[in-house]
Amino acid sequence: MNFLPEHINFYAEQHTQPESVLLQDLNRETYLKVLYPRMVSGHYQGRLLSFFANMIRPLRILEVGTYTGYATICLAEGLAENGKIFSIEKNAELEHIARKYWQKGGIEAQISLHIGNALDIIPTLTETWDLVFLDADKENYVNYYPIILKQLRKGGIILADNVLWSGKVADIQTHSDKDTISIDRFNKMVLADPSVECVLLPVRDGIMMIRKK
């Protein structure tokens, strides 16, 4: 998932603002108790998400894929006054971990958690999004995109995670699994969309940064 040599990645993390004790504890519990713990955003990406949120100062954030709530906490650091995050997670078994750390961080009132299928839930939300973090099932990125874009304000930002998919998208002829094909299709869809600007950041597993014109 990390493409930089380990020593360079270590140097980058050592010269990035450290994560809070709360986030350290959440990261540790995720690795101890949850299947596929590397799905957690973690220190470096978490600081990047916080940085984006603090630049934008969003009033309304949509997060598709809560997992254990690490990224949610990072995004909440940049919320505008009276701002709110609407987070969607399909796995109800993860809710107790996320809520525990949101409570510890004093931000639970700023988060509206929805458990279920994001494709069903997103159209029922009547908010206009300032910032969206997309980190859900990769096969449906191409289906999430038009729904989210319709609800995104002009100048709003979408951050789509895992768009390099461990580098497989750069060798699509060799890797023909559904997720790789879907992510590659999503990347091409965004690039071809005249209503947005995009930059693919080779951070961790790749983040597609999208701005609605």
The pair of three-digit structure tokens given for residue 67, joined into one six-digit string: 């997992």
Measured CA to CA, the distance from residue 171 to residue 155 in angstroms comes to 32
Measured CA to CA, the distance from residue 213 to residue 195 in angstroms comes to 6
pLDDT digits 0-9 by tens, 20-41: 999 999 999 999 999 889 889 9
> Looking at per-residue confidence, does 184 or 2 come out higher?
184
| Strand pairing class (111-115; 152-161) | unpaired
pLDDT digits 0-9 by tens, 62-110: 999 999 999 999 999 999 999 999 999 999 999 999 999 999 999 999 9
CATH number of 6-212: 3.40.50.150
The pair of three-digit structure tokens given for residue 199, joined into one six-digit string: 């930059």
Closest of 122, 119, 202, 116 to residue 161, by C-alpha: 202
pLDDT bucket at 123, cuts 50 / 70 / 90: very high
pLDDT bucket at 176, cuts 50 / 70 / 90: confident
44-79 exposure pattern, b = at least 16 Cβ within 10 A, e = fewer: ebbbbbbebbeebebbbbbbbbbbbbbbbbbbbbbb
Domain boundary assignment for the chain: 6-212
pLDDT bucket at 201, cuts 50 / 70 / 90: very high
